[in-house]
Amino acid sequence: MRIVGSRLCRVELGMATVVTPMLPTVEVERSEDYEECVIVEEAERIVCETAAFFPKIMPTVSASLPCIGLDADMVRRVIDTARRIADREAQRPSSEIFRQMNDRLVSLLRIQAILEVLYEMASAGRPVVEKPSRSEQVFVGFMLSLSQHYAERRTVADYAAEAALSVRHFSSLIQQHTGQTPMQWIHLFVIGQAKHLLMQSDLQVKEVADRLGFPEQFTFRKYFKTHTGISPTEYRKGNKMCLWRDVFQVDK
């Protein structure tokens, strides 16, 4: 699940999301088998290349749900374009003119993929999204704040006060909308960030603890093991072994 703009979206297989400065995104929860293909281009360049129609289609996209399911053929085309982009980005022409040409081709491929998805979203004729419910508004505000302050705010009271609600009412709205308590979401978010940082091999466990706002490595290790069943070091080693096994199987 992720928040896009002011909406909570459940992202499933074959779905696309357009993220712009007008529609910021925050990841809420990710399953273990989640995979994504990300294509990024400067907004100014997209607007410049599509000046004739971009201002007209963006209100349509923004007024509907920011996620859309793509058919299998479109999914294949987007993934194929992403692979072509990666192949071109890996090239390093020795001549300046060929580097410029290659960069231009990469940019055009990105714009092509993004415009194809925008076309699907704008032409789908989806209804305008209704105003979010009170519980959804509170949850979205909670997750946006949590994404910014998870390293220093770890109590439900902090976020309830920010929403100008009692802890009881705040907790009731969150659980009503998601089926989980605010504290469960806090733990889920912190552990998710911890796992992400642990997969960066250049960071020591102590540095991960510091970035997450834990006063010392021991406190972080205890917290991580309480919520995952293994230590940060064991998690890091286990995932490196999985990555190596996958590479070995592909090479073989």
Report which of residues 1 and 163 the model is more confident about: 163
Residue 249 lies in a domain: no
DSSP state of 8: E
* Residue 172: per-residue pLDDT: 95
Contacts 24+ apart (CB under 8 A), 5-12: 5/62, 5/66, 6/132, 6/137, 6/140, 7/65, 7/66, 7/129, 7/132, 7/136, 7/140, 8/136, 8/139, 8/140, 8/143, 9/65, 9/66, 9/67, 10/67, 11/67, 12/69
Residue 251 lies in a domain: no
**What is the greatest pairwise CA distance in the chain?**
65
* Residue 102: per-residue pLDDT: 93
Inter-residue contact 39 to 110 (CB < 8 Å): yes
Say whether both 83 and 37 belong to one domain: yes
Domain of 181, CATH number, reads 1.10.10.60
Say whether both 157 and 179 belong to one domain: yes
Across 31-44, average pLDDT? 80
What domain count does the chain have?
Answer: 2
* Residue 209: per-residue pLDDT: 94
Whether residue 168 is predicted with pLDDT greater than 60 in this model: the reply is yes
Distance CA 238, CA 230 (A): 10
* Residue 241: per-residue pLDDT: 47
Query: To the nearest whole percent, how much of the chain has pLDDT over 90?
Result: 34
Say whether both 44 and 154 belong to one domain: no
Say whether both 162 and 184 belong to one domain: yes
Query: What residues contact residue 61 under an 8 Å CB cut-off, 6+ apart?
Result: 18, 118, 121, 122
Across 24-42, average pLDDT? 79
Residue 206 lies in a domain: yes
Tokens (6 digits) for 231: 């230590």
pLDDT, tens only, 76-103 = 999 999 999 999 999 888 899 999 999 9
| Domain ranges, residue 182 | 134-244
Inter-residue contact 6 to 140 (CB < 8 Å): yes
**Picking from 21-25, 75-79, 169-173, which range would have the lowest pLDDT averaged per residue?**
21-25
pLDDT, tens only, 41-56 = 876 677 677 777 766 6
**Picking from 11-25, 130-144, 210-224, which range would have the lowest pLDDT averaged per residue?**
11-25
**CA-closest candidate to residue 113, choices 81, 83, 86:** 81
Say whether both 112 and 145 belong to one domain: no
Residue 252 lies in a domain: no
Say whether both 86 and 181 belong to one domain: no
Say whether both 161 and 49 belong to one domain: no
Say whether both 14 and 48 belong to one domain: yes
User: φ, ψ for residue 178 (rounded to 5)?
Assistant: -120, -20
Q: How many CA atoms lie within 13 A of 225 on its CB side?
A: 10
Report which of residues 34 and 235 the model is more confident about: 235
* Residue 248: per-residue pLDDT: 33
Across 55-74, average pLDDT? 73
> To the nearest whole number, what is the mean pLDDT of the chain?
81
* Residue 67: per-residue pLDDT: 77
Q: How many CB atoms lie within 10 A of CB 237?
A: 13
DSSP state of 3: E
DSSP string of 227-244, one letter each residue: HHSS-HHHHHHHHHHHHH
Say whether both 207 and 227 belong to one domain: yes
Distance CA 36, CA 54 (A): 25
Inter-residue contact 129 to 61 (CB < 8 Å): no
Say whether both 180 and 88 belong to one domain: no
Report which of residues 149 and 63 the model is more confident about: 149
Residue 200 lies in a domain: yes
Residue 128 lies in a domain: no
Say whether both 6 and 88 belong to one domain: yes
pLDDT, tens only, 182-203 = 999 899 889 888 988 888 767 8
* Residue 162: per-residue pLDDT: 94
Say whether both 202 and 171 belong to one domain: yes
**CA-closest candidate to residue 68, choices 26, 117, 112:** 117
